[in-house]
Amino acid sequence: MASLNKALLQTPATFLIARRFRGKINIQRPRKPHFEKQLLLDMTKPIYGPPRTNLPEYVFCDFHKSNAKKEIDNPFERILARECLDWFNTSKMVVFLHMNSISMEDKTPIFAALKKNNLHLRTYGKKIVSMAITGTRYEVVNQLFTSHQNIIFGQPNKADKMFKILKKAPQLVVMAGIVEDRLMSKSELVEFSKLPNLDVARSQLCNVLQSAGSCLVNQLNQNQQILVSHLDKHIELQNAPHSEEKSDVKESS
């Protein structure tokens, strides 16, 4: 066995073990890389341009044109815009509301009460309203829209009922309205709601016109009545002596 071990080659035992970087890696002051590695790092180093705020506007002309969003024609939006325009044309009173945070449980009774009084609460987005009223007489109300907006469509004689219903929901704030093709603020709408009914206003107008006519007739007949009263008095005074003479003759006889 010993002779066999001597016949085979034996691996020498190493007294030194090589260790990379002789211990810990120096991160603060790293060693310079090899020339070829440094050349590769310099070639692949990213180049950052100046900030966009310092560049002139003409540099971004082609950039904006190439990245401009293309509007997609949505048939459903056109249907909603047509419906919104029909509401504007058929309603004599249009009220714009600003809706704060409100739950559906609080909004449903208000919606039902408005519906019961023939007042229709609708919600439309800015794009739908812009498609509907652009180029019409209602185009000025585009400034009231920033996002989804609540609109009440109805008749002017229901303005008082509308304010009574909206008192129960302070989250719905009235901003402005259109009554008989006239844009009104909130204060003007409140004053309009306090006006009497059309039939009552017509009866009041008839009374005013009738009183003016009767006053004119009385003033025209006043002089004639005074003259007639004076003539009657004069006749009574002329007939008075004859009646006294007749009474004296009867007494003497």
SS3 24: coil
Q: How many Å apart are CA 68 and CA 66, to the nearest integer?
A: 6
What backbone torsions phi and psi does residue 248 show, to the nearest 5 degrees?
Answer: -70, -40
Question: Model confidence over 179-217: pLDDT tens digits?
Answer: 888 888 888 888 888 887 777 777 878 888 777 777 877
Question: What's the chain's average pLDDT?
Answer: 80
d(CA 11, CA 244): 183
Are 124 and 149 within 8 A, CB to CB?
yes
Per the confidence metrics, is the pTM higher than 0.75? Answer: no
Domain boundary assignment for the chain: 92-193
Residue 19 pLDDT greater than 70, yes or no? no
Alpha helices, DSSP H only, in 59-197?
61-66, 75-90, 104-116, 126-133, 159-166, 186-193
What confidence score (pLDDT) does residue 73 get? 78
Distance CA(71)–CA(82), nearest Å, equals 19
Euclidean distance between CA atoms 93 and 114, whole angstroms: 13
Residue 14 is predicted with a pLDDT of 62
CATH class for the region spanning 92-193 = alpha beta
Q: How many whole angstroms separate alpha carbon 159 and alpha carbon 100?
A: 21
Q: What was the pLDDT predicted at 57?
A: 77
Quote the pLDDT of residue 86.
92
DSSP letter string over 181-204?
TEEEEHHHHHHHHTS--HHHHHHH
Residue 157 Cα distances to 92, 144, 179, 195, 215, angstroms: 10, 24, 10, 9, 33
Bigger pLDDT: 21 vs 79: 79
Contact 127, 148 (CB under 8 A): no
